[in-house]
Amino acid sequence: MPHPPLHLAAALDGAGWHPAAWRLAGTAPEALWSASYWANLVAEAERGLLDFVTIEDSLDLQSSRPDGPDGRTDQVRGRLDAVLLAARIAPLTRHIGLIPTTSTTHTEPFHVSTAIATLDHVSSGRAGWRPRISARRSETGHFGRRDLPELRPDLFAEPAYVELVGDLFTEAADVVEVVRRLWDSWQDDAVIRDLPSGRFVDRDRLHYIDFRGRWFSVKGPSIVPRPPQGQPVVATLAHSSVPYAFAAASADVVFVTPPDADAAEAIVTEVRAAEDTVGRICEPLKVLADLVVLLDEDASAAWRRRDRLDGLHGAEPVFDAPVFAGTADELADLLGHWRRAGLDGFRLRPAVLPDDLAAISRTLVPALRDRGLFRAAYPGGTLRDLLGLTRPANRYAVGTPT
């Protein structure tokens, strides 16, 4: 039985994922804080029929150190708010999904729920959300509400640090739960606009969520009517067992970082086991593998680009995902091979923007299509439709199973 077409997404960050990307001729570092720069990137991704783009965000400046500023002035520093960017871009696009990133550690879930619900309305059902924990002490200093130890790799195996990370993911799960309840706090037919009676809203179809947890209590209801998708798509990045469990319990899509096909198969197996462990009852997670990509007309040219970037950076950068340098045909063959490990698709991180994104949309996508691995047109509908996810019933509607 043939596989369904794979899902393909692009992860957008600054001038590209390579830290020296902004220094290449042809890039436009002066435009990084303009709406047109980001709109053009998303338009390019939509031209390639990609399922969605993710927009990176963080609550501290970029750094090559695990925690705190590194003092470097030769790399991009500073970013725009991902949710606001997505809302600005939404009216300029028609089909592609928009998934901004926010912190679950320092951002109020009520604010997140209203922002993503608003994005879903203004995009006609193409919104998603990527929740991420903030484990860095440098981020906590902006808020003054808690204190965390400095993030140091030599402490990762210490019991106290393992417990801390576990708490951050438990808190993140509560944040997602609150956000999801708030999205459901308006039933789909709560807005009635009944002129004869003068009633705009049926108050009986708005619901308090009355969430009480370890980190916060939220009464609800939301101030935004239920999103067009019911539940916008929740996506998360995971590298190990604790975030796999978080994804299994809280997300619709998980991004993973296997170095090869064998590792991809092992990770998919671990993700499916995590779904069983948490008792997941909704549709299985969509598992997408991340790769940093540099594409060119021949492999040697791609490697020369990579060597030049590494030279400008002063060393070979360390990424959390594997790096591919080669041609679109070579990458298409690799993706076809990896997807047999049980992956549903891929999130590609262009090393240089807009160059590698354009190569994805204009050369990789046709190569995948020639292999029967990708669609020839958008089917229409919401982001959930595009990903093959059903629209969830409202948990507060009469007759909805609990």
Residues making up the annotated binding site for FMN are: 57, 101, 240
Compute the distance between CA of residue 246 and CA of residue 237 in angstroms, rounded to an integer: 10
Compute the distance between CA of residue 384 and CA of residue 129 in angstroms, rounded to an integer: 12
Cα-flanking dihedrals φ and ψ of residue 107, to 5°? -110, 130
Which helix (H) or strand (E) is 115 found in, with range?
Answer: helix 109-122
Size (the chain), residues = 402
Compute the distance between CA of residue 71 and CA of residue 116 in angstroms, rounded to an integer: 34
Helix (H, G, I), strand (E, B) or coil at 141: coil
Match 């750094």 to its residue by tokens.
63
325 contacts 302 by C-beta, under 8 angstroms: yes
What is the crossing angle of helices 82-89 and 109-122, to 10°? 20
Give the CA-trace dihedral at 160, 163, 167, 170, to 10 degrees.
Answer: 170
Helix (H, G, I), strand (E, B) or coil at 53: strand
What are the residues facing 347 on neighbouring strands?
Answer: 9, 290
Per residue in 329-368, is it b (16+ CB within 10 Å) or e — as a string?
bbbbebbbebbebebbbbbbbbbbbbbbbbbbbebbbbbb
DSSP state of 188: T
Is 396 exposed, middle or buried, given 0-12, 13-18 or 19+ CB atoms closer than 10 A?
Answer: buried
Q: Which residues are annotated as a binding site?
A: 57, 101, 240
Compute the distance between CA of residue 109 and CA of residue 8 in angstroms, rounded to an integer: 29
Compute the distance between CA of residue 239 and CA of residue 196 in angstroms, rounded to an integer: 56
The two beta strands, 233-237 and 253-256, are parallel
